[in-house]
Structure 1
Amino acid sequence: MSGVDHLHELLGLPAVDFQQDESDGPRPAAGAAAWRVSVEPYEDEDRTWEQEFASFLAAVDPAGVRALIIGQWGESYEENSSYPIGLVTAAADRLTSLEAVFVGDLTMEESEISWIEQSDVTALLAAYPALVEFGVRGGSELVFPPTRHERLRSLTIETGGLPVSVVRGVLDSELPALERLDLWLGVSAYGGDADVADLAPLLSGTRFPALHHLGLRNSEVENEIAAAIASAPLVARLRTLDLSCGTLGNEGAAALLEGQPLTHLDVLDLHHHFLTEPMERRIAEALEPHGVRVDLSDRCEPWGDRGAEGRYTSVSE
């Protein structure tokens, strides 16, 4: 699960571990941090996430908490996220200022991304109608039925393989305030069975009228996505486009250059790619004079002598 670290911030607030050392000084005010609540099953064998969460609610004024990060809740590959989600939804009458939640902030040392057992995460959206930012890490058993939420502005789903049922659930949802959507599509070997056709309702521009940032990342079909983006009506109203961390090669980059103009973008993020240096120069020369910030960092080489078949996403297992 390379390239995935603990969150550093959520809702623009610094991430702070509730279980911090005394040497770190006094805890910040309840609304001044994004609080990470987690337990380490090997170090905290006698401590459950439920106990840790109860301690958190007792020590930090719950009415002031604006951002909550659900970290490791035990053996996450044995007990799914309905366990911590149920506890957080039950506390909705106490967490009255909550605006952001992230579920599954685990690193590779805690659990491979494909081992994180998720559940129906929309229970949190139903319990917290004031949420503006929501994120999930892990695609195994992830459920996202079509839902409606009036205030959500940012949705991120990070996986090594995103089930097509989740993609369809997200795209069938009514999210009138959504401005930022990031989907890590992943690879078929880890459950990423969506194809470009499944993205058509999104790319048509008929969904999510406020959307201005789109990330279709970490995909083994990044070239096909780029080709679809090249003529997608949605692109005209985007300010940032993120096609990073996947298998993008010269063919996908050429499709972007030959399609509709991208000079209106503020940012085009293509980092972790398989472009040649001449294609990098073509992209930069076409866009940077117009003020587009292009991220072409982390050029990769295919494994062995397999050419395009040797390309790999940044995150899979």
Structure 2
Amino acid sequence: MRISVLGATSQIAKDLVLSFAAQSDHELLLFARRPAAVTQWLQAADLSGRYAVADFCAFGEGERFDIILNFVGAGNPAQIAALGASIFDVTLDYDRIALDYLRTNSRCRYVFLSSGAAYGASFDQPADASTAAVVPINSLQPQDWYAVAKLHAECRHRSLQHLQIIDVRVFNYFSHTLDMSSGSLMTDIVRAIRSQTLLQTSRDYIVRDYVHPSDFYQLVDALLAAPPANTAVDCYSKEPIDKPRILAAMQQKFGLHYAIGDHAGGPNPTGRKPHYYSLNRRAADFGYLPTLTSLQGLTMEMALLSRRPSLEGGQS
């Protein structure tokens, strides 16, 4: 199977490439705005020469793909904040590249990395299969740009029912390879542990569902093996976890020191989301069955991080 990966500098894309390399013989073609960075990363990962790397301008030039995986976009709170309103153009431009290919190669499948933010909801409760997307149309704010861009892409995809497109909504993802300066609860925890400093965190109660790289691979693999479809699925682990349990586990297992108070917390460019996860199990219809709970996944990745010499060890 020939798989085109758009946005190969994305960390979640890199993790998936590592999983493909270890568990499949698929032929991957990695496209990026910075192909040299991808080539360097492949060398560091002992995958030099394993996969072809190219700039986006070379996409589709006489190539045949069975699958297109689109990871282009912002992958963490800091990147979302930095992109601002340009997320609309970035999302649309690279989505069009894939859709133009599908229009002349209708047997090709397209997997688009969406986000739980597409629901646009306040997440006072977790999303489920009946949750409606909410857009404050008369009072749009910068924190809405990312959600609306993803929702717009999903609407465009559903309008093309004759094409094989699956949108994968990622809510929370944690890997030891992530950029630990990205400004999320878990990256703040990592930095506090590594620097042996006190984590100052807000008293806000939140629940998250962290998908482990191995389960994300299982989800993508299940989607590729299932009959063609045009739909969206939500990412989920075996069990979500709330903030008190995260803090307690990180304290017990990795020596985290923390204080809870009236702190504003890190960047929150898509708004406050107390229960940012989903109970929508549509992915199970494709054969997806997660193997790890959020706590198990976090613990595994933190154990790998604890062996790294520096916070930046996983970046490229």
Q: Pick the TM interval, shorter chain.
A: 0.3 to 0.5
Structure 1 length-normalised TM:
0.32
Larger radius of gyration: 1
* Larger RCO (CA under 8 A, 6+ residues apart): 2
